[in-house]
Every structure is written in C-alpha cells, then in structure tokens.
Amino acid sequence: MTKPILQLWINGQRTASRSKRFADVSNPAKGETIRQVPLASREDVEAAIAMAKAAFPAWRDTTPLRRSRILNKFRELLETHRAELAQLASEEHGKTLEDATGSVQRGIEVVEFAIGAPHLLKGEHAENVGRGVDCHSMLQPIGVCAGITPFNFPAMVPMWMFPIAIACGNTFILKPSEKVPSCSLRMAELFKEAGLPDGVFNVVPGDKEAVDTLLMHPDVRSISFVGSTPIAKYIYETAAHHGKRVQALGGAKNHAVVLPDAELDFTADAIMGAAYGSAGERCMAISTVVAVGDVADKLVTKLKSRAEKLVVGPGNKKGVDMGPVISAQHRDKIVGYIDSGVQQGAKLVTDGRGIKVPGHDKGFFVGPTLFDNVSTEMTIYREEIFGPVLIVLRVASLDEAINIVNANQYANGTAIFTASGAAARRFQNEIEVGMVGINVPIPVPMAFFSFGGWKSSLFGDLHMHGMEGVYFYTRTKAVTTRWPEVEERSGSTLTMPTLG
Ligand code: NAD
C-alpha cells in the first residue's frame, strides 16, 4: 500500500519537493513505515533560503512587541495542540505519550521565554562616557538562520532554536531529522496560523545534501545544530569555514556519581527515570553510574529490581514505562554494544536483548539492560550507546570519581547524589561538565537559563536558549554620540581620540 507523502514548508505553504529522493518514516513500535518524507534537494533548500532572505527586512523592522504578540499566539496554539504534537512525537520516535507531552511542554517554555523579546533585546546605555559623549549598544538580528535537529526530541529541540531566532528578528530554516519530520511541519502551520508572515519560518526535511547546502550558502548567517559528536564537529568546521556563526551540540555520556551517604531509594528511583526514560535516547540520559565506596552492592541490587519491573511496550499504551528505540539498525547497534560488554568482561546484571512485546513482533525493542563492574577501557564505557543500557563503575573515592568524569571526552550533563553539602559543593566546582545536577538526575536547565555541554558535547561558544540564545541570534552594535555646541567645534586632530 502506498504511504502518505509529506511535503516541505517554504514561504508559508506546503511545497512539493523537487527531489526524487524520499526516506521512510517509521512507527518504531510497529516496525512499519507509516509515511514518506522527501529529502530536500539543493534546489529546494536554495528556494527556502531565497524566501527567508526576502522575508528578512520586513521581519527585522517589525517591532519586537509585535513579534512577541505573534509568539504569544503561537504559544496558545501550541498549548491547544500539545496532545497532537505529543502524539506525532510518540508515533514517529517511540517514546511514551506522557514523556512526549513533557518534552513538548519544555519546548513551549522556550516560546514563553522568547515572548520577552522587547525586554531581552534592550541594549545598554551609558551617559557621559566622555565629556558630552554618550554610548549605547543595540542587539540586532543577523539575517537568515538555520537549525539542524536530531531524531530524539521531534518538537523540543527545534524549539530550542527557532522561537528565539525569530523573536530576535531573524528568519529561519529548520532541517529536522528525516526520521521525525511531522512535528516540525505541524509547528510551521501553527506559527502561520498565529500570524507569522510567510518566509519567516521554513522547514526542509532532508539529509546531507540539504545540510551541506545550508552550511555553504553565503546567505545563511548562522547554524544551530544538535546531534551526534562526529556530525557536530563536521558542522562546526564546515560552517565556520564558510564564515558562519555556529553552535553545534554533540553526543553525551552522562555520569551519576553516588556517594555512600546518598539516600538510596530516592537515588535509585531518580536513576531509573534518567537511564531508561525515552529508552535512553536522551542527550541528558544518565548512562553511567560511578558508585563510590561501599555503596555499589546495595545500589546495584536496587537498580536491578527496579529495572526488571519496567514495562516495555508501545508508547501509546497506558502503563508502559519504556517504548522502542528509533530503528531496527539502532536496535542492532545497541545489542552489539551489549554483546561487546559481555565479551570484554563486564557483569551483565539485567539483559534486555531479545525482548518480546506481545502484538509487536516487528517493533524495535530493547529491554532495560544493566551492567556492573565496568571499567573505563571497555567499549560500553568509552562510546555513547544511546539506548536503555546503564553501566556501573566502582571506585574508592570522590577524587577518583571526579577524575573519571573529567577524563571523559563527553561533558554534557552529570549528577551527584549525596547528603553532604561539602561534597556537592566540591563536585560542582571541580567537575568539567556543562550542566550539573545535585540530587537532580537530569539537570536540563529551564528556558531562561542556557543549555549546552562542554568538550566534545559542544562545538562553538554559546549555548542554546536563555540569554546565550539571544546573544547567538543577534549582533551587538555600539553607538557613540556627541552633539557639540558651536564653541566646542575645534579643529581636527590626528592623535588617537581619548575621552574623559
Ligand atoms: P545525527 O548526528 O545522526 O543527526 C543529527 C542531524 O544531522 C539530523 O538532522 C541528520 O539528518 C543530520 N545528519 C546526519 N548525518 C549527517 C551528515 N553526514 N552530514 C550532514 N548532516 C547529517 O544524530 P541523531 O542520531 O539524529 O541524534 C542522536 C544524537 O544526538 C546523539 O548522539 C545524542 O547525544 C545527540 N543529541 C545531543 C543533544 C545535546 O543537546 N547535546 C540533544 C539531543 C541529541
């Protein structure tokens, strides 16, 4: 049976792609193709860039207050359609409906932040920086901005980017993951309904051809990327080479350090959600526990009993804790990692391989998996698995735990579980990671703070949303002003002017 075919969104309307290439969009719980998406061609993306460029001057000159009112209407529509967006995210990604609803809500919170544009875009002013001289700064939009997003948050990660870029007066082209295109296309329709002028927001699902067109096109001024580390590095290098500003967020291996004084039931519950929520396909998932001192045996027992109780099934079924992973290929990769952990001598405590979900024989399921006695040389420690696999390393001291976290190439998020304020304070000070939780397992900052990691988890300087998002999507201009009285108009001087 032929499947429905999606379109691109260019200049405020659904637009047929000129590409002859299509990708299958699956329902991972059923293991079936549910629709097809065009992979935007270079010509398609160039058309989107031309429309975004044409729309820029009028949008730049629209007052921030008016932009903010359109964003406010968009927020209302997102709330009205929250369940629909969550359903699309769950259907194409596999995560549970409840989890998908939470992630849509976290995206809406970025829109709420962006509604503050009139206040956020205020510059600074200083009177009398020199005698009779004033100075003020302005934050101005940069032009056509582009965003490239991963499969694991179909609505939230795009919303880390485009609401702020657009609130700042830019126009935007979103290249969502070809695996989960529907949320982005639906959000574009809602934004138009909210009153956004045509051309300000465009969506071009695609693959490398679409991405490379954005990275190299002279009319694109900035690239925001979220995805895996090798692609983030490529995006950063290529876009920077073509003169663009770039923020490229990469992969992760997030550690939870558990000290012997931690409240263990609370800690085990927190780690469960952080490790296995969204089948481990979260960039802030806790994938590694570093158990300090004698806490390991007790903690592993609690983790095992909880992991084995998790209900695995389709994300739209009530009572299901964990859905499938994104694709058959990704499931096989995760199973390959579990095999390698066994071969390299880690202790497999709970084995998620070969799980059967009744009525979903073709679904891409991996059950919760727990390894103990993992060492830092093993592949399951060194590489990002991005699945429901939690590993436990045992160390003797907090010093050793901090050294392990700081030696890892990834540095997105981390957490410490302890009852000691002194240990927590030392941890937050010495740990070389972008986002830190203290008795908080997934420390995703709220929209009015900024989101981003360090080291191989972020290439570029500025994090997403919060004030760093505003700075990324604007250029600062400083204006120095003098209105001299006639008697002050003296002759020219060739020396370096000094004020004061
Ligand atoms: P991915 O890197 O495979 O894809 C991300 C985007 O890049 C997609 O839009 C994809 O179409 C595009 N892409 C893929 N290969 C490309 C290529 N060769 N050239 C140009 N573009 C290409 O990532 P994914 O599998 O969609 O997402 C999972 C990854 O994203 C994980 O590594 C996860 O940790 C990471 N992630 C990071 C964050 C963060 O905030 N740091 C958030 C979410 C996900």
Nearest C-alpha to atom 6 of ligand 1 is from which residue? 150
Parallel, antiparallel or unpaired: strands 171-175 and 201-203: parallel
Per residue in 272-287, pLDDT (tens digit) is: 999 999 999 999 999 9
The total of other beta-carbon atoms located within 10 Å of residue 158's CB is: 29
Inform me whether the pLDDT recorded for 8 exceeds 90.
Answer: yes
Dist. CA 227 → ligand 1 center (Å): 3
Query: In terms of domains, do 240 and 369 share one?
Result: no
**135 has catalytic annotation:** no
Query: In terms of domains, do 241 and 302 share one?
Result: no
CA separation for the pair 238, 244 (Å, rounded)? 9
Query: In terms of domains, do 273 and 240 share one?
Result: no
Q: Is residue 484 part of a domain?
A: no
CA separation for the pair 297, 307 (Å, rounded)? 15
pLDDT of 493 reads: 78
Query: In terms of domains, do 238 and 281 share one?
Result: no
Query: In terms of domains, do 358 and 395 share one?
Result: yes
Dist. CA 229 → ligand 1 center (Å): 8
pLDDT averaged over the chain?
97
pLDDT of 489 reads: 73
Q: Of all atoms in ligand 1, which is nearest to the CA of residue 453? A: 41
pLDDT of 500 reads: 61
Q: Is residue 500 part of a domain?
A: no
Nearest C-alpha to atom 9 of ligand 1 is from which residue? 177
Ligand 1 pocket test: which of 103, 174, 177, 449 has the largest number of ligand atoms within 8 Å of its C-beta? 177
Dist. CA 284 → ligand 1 center (Å): 14
Question: Strand (E) positions, 116-187?
Answer: 125-130, 133-141, 144-148, 171-175
Dist. CA 149 → ligand 1 center (Å): 6
- What DSSP letter does each residue of 283-323 carry, written as one string? TT-EEEEEEETTHHHHHHHHHHHHHHH--BS-TTSTT--B-
Domain carrying residue 414: 254-438
Dist. CA 397 → ligand 1 center (Å): 35
Nearest C-alpha to atom 21 of ligand 1 is from which residue? 208
Q: Is residue 494 part of a domain?
A: no
Query: In terms of domains, do 55 and 20 share one?
Result: yes
Q: Of all atoms in ligand 1, which is nearest to the CA of residue 150? A: 26
Q: Of all atoms in ligand 1, which is nearest to the CA of residue 149? A: 9
Mean pLDDT of 378-404: 98
Inform me whether the pLDDT recorded for 499 exceeds 70.
Answer: no
What is the number of residues in the chain?
A: 500
Query: In terms of domains, do 329 and 213 share one?
Result: no
Task: Please tell me whether residue 20 adopts helix, strand or coil conformation.
Answer: coil
Dist. CA 447 → ligand 1 center (Å): 21
Query: In terms of domains, do 286 and 185 share one?
Result: no
Q: Is residue 445 part of a domain?
A: no
Of 389, 406, 438, the last residue of a domain is 438
The total of other beta-carbon atoms located within 10 Å of residue 73's CB is: 17
CA separation for the pair 155, 148 (Å, rounded)? 12
CATH (domain of 224)? 3.40.605.10
CA dihedral of residues 372, 376, 382, 388 (deg, nearest 10):
10
Q: Is residue 139 part of a domain?
A: yes
Single out the residue of 273, 218, 267, 226 nearest to residue 246, CA to CA: 226
Q: Is residue 286 part of a domain?
A: yes
Catalytic residue, chosen from 145, 168, 183, 283, is 283
Q: Is residue 398 part of a domain?
A: yes
How many folded domains does the chain comprise? 2
Query: In terms of domains, do 187 and 100 share one?
Result: yes
Nearest C-alpha to atom 18 of ligand 1 is from which residue? 208
Per residue in 173-216, pLDDT (tens digit) is: 999 999 999 999 999 999 999 999 999 999 999 999 999 999 99
Mean pLDDT of 401-405: 98
Ligand 1 pocket test: which of 110, 151, 383 has the largest number of ligand atoms within 8 Å of its C-beta? 151
Query: In terms of domains, do 268 and 392 share one?
Result: yes
Range 3-6, long-range pairs (CB < 8 A, 24+ positions): 3/33, 3/34, 3/35, 3/36, 4/34, 4/35, 4/36, 5/35, 5/36, 5/37, 5/38, 6/35, 6/36, 6/37, 6/38, 6/181, 6/182, 6/185, 6/205
CATH (domain of 427)? 3.40.309.10
Query: Starting at the edge strand that comes first in sequence, how are the strands of the sheet with 347-350 ordered?
Result: 347-350, 369-372, 389-395, 286-292, 254-258, 413-417, 435-438
Query: In terms of domains, do 33 and 118 share one?
Result: yes
Per residue in 215-274, pLDDT (tens digit) is: 999 999 999 999 999 999 999 999 999 999 999 999 999 999 999 999 999 999 999 999
pLDDT of 236 reads: 98
Dist. CA 339 → ligand 1 center (Å): 24
Q: Is residue 493 part of a domain?
A: no
CB of 322 within 8 A of CB of 357?
no
Single out the residue of 184, 333, 328, 157 nearest to residue 248, CA to CA: 157
Which residue ranges have their beta carbon within 6 Å of ligand 1?
148-153, 157, 175, 177-178, 207-208, 211, 226-228, 231, 249-252, 283, 384, 386, 412, 453, 457
Task: Please tell me whether residue 161 adopts helix, strand or coil conformation.
Answer: helix
Query: In terms of domains, do 235 and 260 share one?
Result: no
CA separation for the pair 339, 341 (Å, rounded)? 5
Q: How many angstroms separate the first and last alpha carbons of the chain? A: 78
CB of 104 within 8 A of CB of 157?
no
Per residue in 431-453, pLDDT (tens digit) is: 999 999 999 999 999 999 999 99
| Residue 62 β-bridge partners | none
Ligand 1 pocket test: which of 160, 175, 183, 231 has the largest number of ligand atoms within 8 Å of its C-beta? 231
Q: How confident is the model at residue 25 (pLDDT cuts 50, 70, 90)?
A: very high
Mean pLDDT of 354-364: 96
Q: How confident is the model at residue 488 (pLDDT cuts 50, 70, 90)?
A: confident
